[in-house]
Amino acid sequence: MKKAIIIGAGVAGLAASIRLALKGYKPHVFEINSYPGGKLSAFELKGYRFDAGPSLFTMPHFVTELFELAGEDSKSHFNYRKKNIACNYFWSDKTKFSAYSEKRDFLNEVEKVFGEPQKNVDNYLKKAKKKYDLTASIFLEQSLHKLKTYLSLDTLKAMFHLPVFELQKTLHQANSQAFSSTKLVQLFDRYATYNGSDPYQTSGIMTLIQHLEGDYGTFVPEGGMVAITEALYNLALRLGVAFDFETQVDEIIINNNGAKGVRVKDTFYESHIVVSNMDIYPTFKKLLPQQKHPIKKLSQERSSSAVIFYWGVQHSFNELELHNIFFSEDYKSEFEAIFKKKTVSDDPTIYVNITSKDVSGDAPEGCENWFVMINTPSDKGQDWEVIVNQLRGFIISKLSKELEVDLESLIVCEDILTPPIIQNKTQSHLGALYGSSSNNPMAAFLRHPNFSNRIKNLYFCGGSVHPGGGIPLCLLSAKIIDDLIPEL
């Protein structure tokens, strides 16, 4: 049986280990942390449970597919339910909008709250779906760096519909031309943050992200987001995947232009293939120091990062849902601060995720576990202690006013995540959440491929390589390398 070494037990590394085990390989996963999942992990604090990282779950079929491939019933190991309300949105003038999952309810609410004709939004969503249908098989499900991807009917079909993609417009321009309501434009601009980008720079093709949430829906796993990690980790164990935690890989060993294994301290582990689920930047800088580095790909603009406050809140708020957004009054200035000034706006948008709304036991009775996130630039040496203190004061002041409470007095425990801590815990370069940003119209082609052109038997998966960040795309990166690696 041929061996496969996987560096990193993030969600893409877990998916890759499962697929390789099913392919006949003997996978061995090395993880520097004491737990699997990478960003998709959890912790407890004084009776409150918190998902540490990704909080949005959509396209669950990419998870359940792995159980089906293994011949298992996913419902025996992993369950989830669809949310009726995907997100509640709040503006400082007391406007509130509930984004219903059902399309008819969503359109009715748009017209009621924003006065936007339903046909405008319906046409927008149909166009977003067309973008996705034309590009998914090319940009998301296959390697963009193999000639066969372009020698297909799907590629020819997409080329005939180039104007549909709105590549020459920014996402904000596409949204502004579609809607008369500035609040609705802001709501749809927000989807740029799903891959850590700027709606005033990223291409208009990104309207397809709204299709992913609107058409597929938003879900909540039983047990919280970490249940995805736990389910995939246990599936990998059942398939015979070996895991070494608290183990740092020091080097990928290359001989005769091929990956031969890895070095852990003074021990060499031989392997027929090596897969790095580590961020592509430290993969080259730390694990492949003697190899030629893809300088252009490694020097791309980083995606946004975040400051996250984990708060145990001694109160229950009926007006809040699982996902909640409190918008800034000047969205353009917020993104200029992040991507141009490399700082945080004086009036940032606030995201509040509360899993205790849906996951029993995540907080004591009558209390809530708040995951409060502010989008920030990646770590460029900013004084994060000062930024955190300023953000904390702003958030508490704004939410106290919006919710008409003394929020400070309700917080009974706290933990904080910053870009430097994200880099330290997950090896994400500069703490960027999604690797490189997608502000460049050619971003999909500029991401590092899922294989090495120079080194045989070396592959890459995870949010820093093709097709991008976020749970669905990370899972697809594992699928792509599965297609690239030959059957035994």
Cβ within 8 Å of residue 109, ≥6 positions away: 97, 98, 99, 100
> What is the pLDDT at residue 150?
39
> What is the pLDDT at residue 138?
60
- Asked if residue 344 lies in contact with residue 376, where contact means CB atoms within 8 angstroms, the answer is yes
Q: What angle is formed at CA 231 by the lines to CA 15 and CA 469, rounded to 5 degrees?
A: 45
Q: With residue 109 as reference, give the H or E element that holds it.
A: helix 103-114
Mean pLDDT, the chain, rounded, equals: 92
- Token digits of residue 385: 């202690």
> What is the pLDDT at residue 163?
53
- Token digits of residue 123: 């046409």
> What is the pLDDT at residue 30?
98
Cα 335 to chain centroid, rounded:
19
CA–CA separation, 237 and 49 (whole Å): 25
DSSP 462: S
Q: 3-state SS of 133-186? A: HHHHHHHHCCCCCCHHHHCCHHHHHHHCCHHHHCCCCEHHHHHHHHCCCHHHHH
CA–CA separation, 347 and 432 (whole Å): 21
Q: Identify any residues that bridge with 198 across adjacent strands, giving them in sequence order.
A: none
Question: Which amino acid, 101?
Answer: S
Cβ within 8 Å of residue 464, ≥6 positions away: 279, 280, 281, 428, 429, 434, 435, 436, 447, 448
DSSP 37: B
CA–CA separation, 93 and 91 (whole Å): 5
Cα 270 to chain centroid, rounded:
32
CA–CA separation, 223 and 14 (whole Å): 19
> What is the pLDDT at residue 151?
46
Encode pLDDT of 232-255 as tens digits.
999 999 999 999 999 999 999 999
CA–CA separation, 125 and 121 (whole Å): 6
Q: In percent, how much of the chain has pLDDT > 70?
A: 93
Q: With residue 212 as reference, give the H or E element that holds it.
A: helix 208-216
- Token digits of residue 13: 């590394």
Tokens 């940032």 — which residue? 348
Q: What CATH number should be reported for the domain whose range is 3-42+226-299+436-484? A: 3.50.50.60
Write the CA distances from 316 to 55, 322, 403, 405, 410, integer angstroms: 20, 12, 11, 11, 10
Peptide bond into 289 cis (omega under 30): no
pLDDT tens digits, the chain, 488 residues: what are they? 899 999 999 999 999 999 999 999 999 999 999 999 999 999 999 999 999 999 999 999 999 999 999 999 999 999 999 999 999 999 999 999 999 999 999 999 999 999 999 999 999 999 988 887 777 766 666 655 554 543 445 544 545 454 566 768 999 999 999 999 999 999 999 999 998 999 999 988 888 788 778 778 899 999 999 999 999 999 999 999 999 999 999 999 999 999 999 999 999 999 999 999 999 999 999 999 999 999 988 989 999 999 999 999 999 999 999 999 999 999 999 999 999 999 999 999 999 999 999 999 999 999 999 999 999 999 999 999 999 999 999 999 999 999 999 999 999 999 999 999 999 999 999 999 999 888 887 665 678 899 998 999 999 999 999 888 899 999 999 999 999 998 77
Encode pLDDT of 289-345 as tens digits.
999 999 988 989 999 999 999 999 999 999 999 999 999 999 999 999 999 999 999
> What is the pLDDT at residue 112?
98
**Residue from 371, 375, 369 nearest 327 by CA:** 375
CA–CA separation, 232 and 239 (whole Å): 11
Q: With residue 414 as reference, give the H or E element that holds it.
A: strand 411-417
CA–CA separation, 455 and 255 (whole Å): 9
> What is the pLDDT at residue 153?
52
Cβ within 8 Å of residue 433, ≥6 positions away: 39, 196, 303, 304, 305, 306, 422, 463, 469
Q: Domain map of the chain by residue range?
A: 3-42+226-299+436-484, 84-217, 304-377+380-417
DSSP 456: B
Cα 404 to chain centroid, rounded:
32
Strands 26-30, 3-7: parallel, antiparallel or unpaired by DSSP? Answer: parallel
Phi-psi region of 95 (alpha: psi -120 to 50; beta: other; left: phi over 0): beta
- Token digits of residue 109: 């609410």
